Amino acid sequence: MTDAIKSIMKALYNLSDEDNYNLYDAHDISEYLGLELETVEKVLETLLEAGCLSECMNLHDDGIQTYTLTDKAIDMVEQG
């Protein structure tokens, strides 16, 4: 699971624009990384609970659920 967490954090980092805006949902990330959707969803939930993600777009308002990395998570990705 640790490798999946690192991969998903790195994917969110790479897929977000310079303003840390992300248009990619769990399905897109699972395809991008070749991981099971269920795994990606579990990791996103874990990262959200850990304070490593914030909501970017939400299903109710935007029709898609996306997240961005928090500053803490960005620092972790950049430090390797």
Half-sphere exposure for 72 (CA within 13 Å, toward CB): 7
Sketch out the chain's domains with CATH numbers.
Answer: 2-79 (1.10.10.10)
Contact (Cβ atoms closer than 8 angstroms) between residue 73 and residue 11: no
- Would you state the pLDDT for residue 80? 83
Q: What is the pLDDT along the chain (80 residues), one digit of tens a residue?
A: 789 999 999 999 998 887 777 888 999 999 999 999 999 999 999 999 999 998 888 888 878 898 899 999 999 999 98
71: helix, strand or coil? helix
Kind plus residue range of the DSSP H or E element containing 28: helix 26-33
- Would you state the pLDDT for residue 4? 94
Distance CA 4, CA 36 (A): 10
- Would you state the pLDDT for residue 6? 95
